[in-house]
Amino acid sequence: MSTTAPPAPLLPSNAVDSTGPITAADGTPLQTALSRATRKARIRAFLLVAPLLAFVVLTFVAPIGQMLWRSVSNDSFSANMPALTAWFAENEALGSDGGPEGDGIPGEDAFEALATDLKGARENRTAGIVGTRVNYDLSGTRSLFTKSARQARKLEAPFKAALLDVDEDWGDAELWSVMRSASRTYTGDFYLAALDMQRNVDGEIEAVPENRRIYVPLFVRTLWLSALIAGLCLLLAFPVAHLLARLPLRYSNILMIFVLLPFWTSLLVRTTSWMVMLQSQGVVNDLMVAVGIVGDDGRIQMMYNQAGTIIAMTHILLPFMILPLYSVMKTIPHDYVRAARSLGATPSTAFWRIYFPQTVPGIGAGVLLVFILAVGYYITPALVGGSSGQLISNLIAFHMQKSLNWSLAAALAALLLAGVMLLYWLYDRLIGIDNMKFG
Amino acid sequence: MSANAAEVSGSANEPMVRFKNVQKSYDGETLVVKDLNVDIARGEFLTMLGPSGSGKTTSLMMLAGFEPATHGEIILNGRPINDVPPHKRGIGMVFQNYALFPHMTVAENLAFPLQVRKMSKSDAAAKVKRALEMVELPEFGDRRPAQLSGGQQQRVAVARALVFEPDLVLMDEPLGALDKQLREQMQYEIKHIHESLGVTVVYVTHDQSEALTMSDRIAVFNDGVIQQLSSPDTLYEKPDNSFVAQFIGENNRLQGVINEVRGDACVVKLDSGDEVLAEQVVPGGTGTRTTLSIRPERIELDPAPGACPVTIDGKIEELIYLGDHIRVRMNVAGTNEFIVKVRNHTGRKPLAAGQQASVGWDPIDCRALDALT
């Protein structure tokens, strides 16, 4: 059974070449051949993911991006006051000693531009928008713009005198400094405001007076309360999760239902029932009065203050701590603690040196989850927090809904996001995200 | 030697461990361990062998202190330990899944029992080093348990149970997760460690060959009761009852009725009508139903006339070639499952399925045990 084929070379001539790239059997480079072979699979995989990708981009990435953009970009002044904006651009820094008279008030040309813009604002009915924008930085100025715009038609040269005649506030150096910064479409001023800082008349950054600082103390309070709530959740959840992981299935199932029950109840209902429980005429206080722990006039205020926020949020966020802890504890065989005990460890040594370290991934996941949820929590503090239990989200909501200063709301939200990401990064450095287990 | 005999022999020499009338129930309705009485001598390797649910692991857990005894007393070194917590018992233990602490290195695992005993760092390090050398893993101290193979983890677990020099080491099916070859190798290693250190070992397994290989004595558990407690050879050659005969090794069973008692021996009339001579183990006189138990390797196929006191005719049903021996499945005395092992020696007579053949044995090897229902 012999054939007369030429002797086959040890290696196909095009298979391995010590100089050129490795090629497939037909001579195309192996990389090309490989990517061609897997292209179909990759396209199919992409098409499967595409709907979700589009959904996420449309409903998540785009709005958040737009929101973040708004925090550094606000054209409500520059778009509606073009002439004055142009004048500001041409005439650089006008300090407190600037201007023809050295009092920080610009000269006639600036007032002429202002008058032109006020006339335009009257026609386009945009004086309110401009006034609102300036009002962010200098309160009480919105009416100045609307009032002056109403009388803009009557304004005649010399405009400086005429405008000062309409309202002498036009001669306020701080107003001109504020208008200058508002004329910039792209600005970091909202971030300054979110950090309780402002520009003074000379354009220098300074902290606002102590009694007007709102945001930084609120950030601190938000982080501190969130950490406290996460800590309380951990203390309460650890034994429950341990019990869940150790009990026989039929008991742990019942217990699990009790853990999950809050999930199936509306957040509002849960918060409201805490109000029923904790208010000064509520169940807890009535009970304490009835038992005689406190007198009828000494009812404890547990609602509409920080205590209310802490109690209600700890309860509401508890399942988010129990579930990751439980899922980690369930994977720790009971034999570890038994082995430690048989090796001579007391129950507490066995717990702290053997059991506890193995629950750290669950603790990390639970604490991070509860903390991040708490930092952005809104409804519960709004309902039960009173004034001392408000969190930063409540103020973001205020600026979104009431003051309509969306740029500031966006700046606050962006700072919150940055803070959470920083903590996440720290967590990754200290414990490692890989070690985290949600279930 | 039965469980009762062991109880008596313990009084002469103080035993290491004594179970006295120990009972255990988990639910208050059924007893998992019914009246356990065992003495374990110092330096002994005792294996608790039995099917799952027979109470062997529960007995071990009671000794380790992880399960309280419902009734009875457990005595360690002459001291009742029912109320002593596990960490004060000073008993080393090897778990089925090794239970090596995953967040510690091998050396930290080994040092753990020494640390909780407040031993100085340098002494502990020396002991850890020696323990690792004992299990032939001197280079592995810095690794994590997850980086070791199953056999290596198993060795570390053994070393950890021994590093604090306990008198007594408990092992709960420690080789169950290993493959067959490794398991056999580890059996010898554990046996050698036991011999060289002189520790007392209580070993739980459901693998009868493991028990036979390693043990000084084996306690065969079934249904919460020790069926027989004796040395491996006694257990194999002289089982006390049908359960032990069936659980340890292979065994041919023939049902019959005792026809006549002759001292220690008896004549049994098989259900097929044949009459055979057997060693009487089951108590009772003429008319008692009995199960005869004969090991396949004690049966002679086609014995020379007069060579065997008992011979019965049969028929070869099937031959299975196993290299060192040939398993012959035969139809004998009404059963199709009668197995004879024929040694594969030169000059062996040729065998074929369907061939008529007689089987013969010595009555000493044929034990009349309790009847199986």
Provide CB contacts within 8 A for A352, sequence distance 6+. none
Residue B288: inside a domain, yes or no? yes
pLDDT of B4 above 50:
no
Q: Which band of pLDDT confidence, cut at 50, 70 and 90, is reported for residue B373?
A: low
CB contact under 8 A, B164 and A344: yes
Of B66, B97, B113, the CB nearest to A344: B113
- Give the minimum alpha-carbon distance from B87 to chain A in angstroms, rounded to a whole number: 4
Residue B270: inside a domain, yes or no? yes
Give residue A99's pLDDT: 62
B100-114 burial, b if ≥16 CB within 10 A, otherwise e? Answer: bbeebbbbbbbbbbb
Give residue A94's pLDDT: 54
Residue B247: inside a domain, yes or no? no
Higher pLDDT, B317 or A1: B317
Give residue A93's pLDDT: 60
Give residue B53's pLDDT: 87
Taking contacts as CB-CB distances below 8 angstroms, the residues of chain B near A347 are: 85, 87
B118 touches chain A (CB under 8 A): no
CB contact under 8 A, A338 and B92: no
Choose, out of B26, B91, B93, the residue to mutate when testing the contact with A (most A CBs < 10 Å): B93
Taking contacts as CB-CB distances below 8 angstroms, the residues of chain B near A335 are: 95-97, 99
Residue B201: inside a domain, yes or no? yes
CB contact under 8 A, A343 and B91: no
Judge whether B265 and B277 are in contact, CB under 8 Å.
Answer: yes
Is the domain of B66 the same as that of B26? yes
Judge whether B247 and B220 are in contact, CB under 8 Å.
Answer: yes
Gap between the Cα atoms of A367 and A423, Å rounded: 11
Choose, out of A250, A336, A342, the residue to mutate when testing the contact with B (most B CBs < 10 Å): A342
DSSP H or E run through B40: strand B33-40
Report CA Rg, chain B. 24
Residue after which a domain boundary falls, among B242, B264, B279: B242
Judge whether A410 and A397 are in contact, CB under 8 Å.
Answer: no
Choose, out of B27, B63, B87, B204, the residue to mutate when testing the contact with A (most A CBs < 10 Å): B87
How many Å separate Cα A382 from the centre of its chain? Answer: 17
Query: Which CATH number does the domain housing residue B258 bear?
Result: 2.40.50.140
Give residue A439's pLDDT: 53
Q: Which residue has the tokens 């009535």?
A: A286
Size of the A and B interface in Cβ pairs below 8 Å: 65
Which of A48-52, B120-124, B333-337 bottoms out in mean pLDDT, i.e. has the lowest?
B333-337
Provide CB contacts within 8 A for A370, sequence distance 6+. A226, A229, A230, A233, A234, A317, A320, A321
**Which of helix, strand or coil describes residue A136?**
helix
pLDDT of B1 above 60:
no
Residue A292 CB-density burial (10 A; 0-12 exposed, 13-18 middle, 19+ buried): exposed
A332-362 burial, b if ≥16 CB within 10 A, otherwise e? Answer: beebbbbbbbbbbbeeebbeebbbeebbebb
- Give the minimum alpha-carbon distance from A331 to chain B in angstroms, rounded to a whole number: 12
Give residue A265's pLDDT: 86
- CA atoms in the 13 A half-sphere facing the CB of A398: 10
Choose, out of B67, B76, B101, B144, the residue to mutate when testing the contact with A (most A CBs < 10 Å): B101
Choose, out of B63, B84, B91, B95, the residue to mutate when testing the contact with A (most A CBs < 10 Å): B95
Gap between the Cα atoms of B321 and B348, Å rounded: 13
Greatest distance between any 2 Cα atoms in chain B = 76
What are B186-208's pLDDT values in tens digits?
899 899 999 999 999 999 999 88
Q: What percent of chain B has pLDDT over 70?
A: 96
Token reading at B355: 């061939």
- Give the minimum alpha-carbon distance from A437 to chain B in angstroms, rounded to a whole number: 16
Is the domain of B200 the same as that of B321? no
B99 touches chain A (CB under 8 A): yes
Gap between the Cα atoms of B125 and B147, Å rounded: 21
Is the domain of B90 the same as that of B217? yes
Number of DSSP helices (H) and strands (E) in chain B, helices first: 9, 20
By residue range, what is the domain housing residue B347? 252-370
Is the domain of B224 the same as that of B262? no
Of A333, A344, A358, the CB nearest to B117: A344
Is the domain of B131 the same as that of B217? yes
Q: Which residue is closest to A335 within chain B, CA to CA?
A: B99
Q: Which residue has the tokens 């722990």?
A: A293
Of A333, A341, A357, the CB nearest to B97: A333
Residue B83 CB-density burial (10 A; 0-12 exposed, 13-18 middle, 19+ buried): exposed
Is the domain of B224 the same as that of B314? no
How many C-beta atoms lie closer than 10 Å to residue B365's C-beta? 18
Of A338, A345, A357, the CB nearest to B116: A345
A358 touches chain B (CB under 8 A): yes
- Give the minimum alpha-carbon distance from A323 to chain B in angstroms, rounded to a whole number: 22
Of A335, A341, A358, the CB nearest to B87: A341
Judge whether A100 and A197 are in contact, CB under 8 Å.
Answer: no
How do strand B217-222 and strand B225-230 relate by DSSP bridges?
A: antiparallel
Q: Which residue has the tokens 């408990």?
A: B170
Is the domain of B190 the same as that of B338? no
Residue B318: inside a domain, yes or no? yes
Is the domain of B144 the same as that of B217? yes
Token reading at B220: 């065969």
A338 touches chain B (CB under 8 A): yes
A349 touches chain B (CB under 8 A): yes
Higher pLDDT, B118 or B14: B118
- Please state the domain count of chain B: 2
In chain A, residues under CATH classification 1.10.3720.10 are 215-435
Taking contacts as CB-CB distances below 8 angstroms, the residues of chain A near B87 are: 341-347, 350
Residue B163: inside a domain, yes or no? yes
ipTM of the complex: 0.81
How do strand B168-172 and strand B17-24 relate by DSSP bridges?
A: unpaired
Q: What mean pLDDT value characterizes chain B?
A: 88
- Give the minimum alpha-carbon distance from A33 to chain B in angstroms, rounded to a whole number: 38
pLDDT of B229 above 90:
yes
Of B85, B103, B170, the CB nearest to A357: B103
Gap between the Cα atoms of A204 and A425, Å rounded: 33
Choose, out of A343, A348, A354, A359, the residue to mutate when testing the contact with B (most B CBs < 10 Å): A343
How many Å separate Cα B303 from the centre of its chain? Answer: 33
How many C-beta atoms lie closer than 10 Å to residue A309's C-beta? 29
A353 touches chain B (CB under 8 A): yes
B92 touches chain A (CB under 8 A): yes
Gap between the Cα atoms of A350 and B236, Å rounded: 43
A260 touches chain B (CB under 8 A): no
Gap between the Cα atoms of A246 and A284, Å rounded: 32
Judge whether B216 and B47 are in contact, CB under 8 Å.
Answer: no
Is the domain of B160 the same as that of B304? no
Residue B282: inside a domain, yes or no? yes
Number of DSSP helices (H) and strands (E) in chain A, helices first: 20, 2
Gap between the Cα atoms of B261 and B284, Å rounded: 9
Gap between the Cα atoms of B312 and B332, Å rounded: 7
Judge whether B218 and B187 are in contact, CB under 8 Å.
Answer: no
Judge whether A272 and A383 are in contact, CB under 8 Å.
Answer: yes
- Residue ranges in chain A modelled with pLDDT below 50: 1-5, 8-17, 96
Gap between the Cα atoms of A427 and B302, Å rounded: 80
Q: Which residue in B245, B233, B220 sits closest to B366, CA to CA? A: B245
Query: Which CATH number does the domain housing residue B58 bear?
Result: 3.40.50.300
Provide CB contacts within 8 A for A241, sequence distance 6+. A321, A322, A325, A326, A329, A362
Gap between the Cα atoms of A226 and A374, Å rounded: 5
Token reading at A219: 């950030």
Residue after which a domain boundary falls, among B201, B219, B242: B242
The backbone torsions φ and ψ at residue B76, rounded to the nearest 5 degrees and listed phi first, read -120, 125
Q: Which residue is closest to B164 within chain A, CA to CA?
A: A343
Q: Which residue in A130, A83, A133 sits closest to A111, CA to CA? A: A83
Provide CB contacts within 8 A for A223, sequence distance 6+. A375, A419
Which 25-64 residues of chain B touch chain A by CB within 8 A? 64
Q: What percent of chain B has pLDDT over 90?
A: 49
CATH fold of the domain at A215-435: MetI-like fold (1.10.3720)
Is the domain of B220 the same as that of B257? no
Is the domain of B281 the same as that of B171? no
Is the domain of B46 the same as that of B126? yes
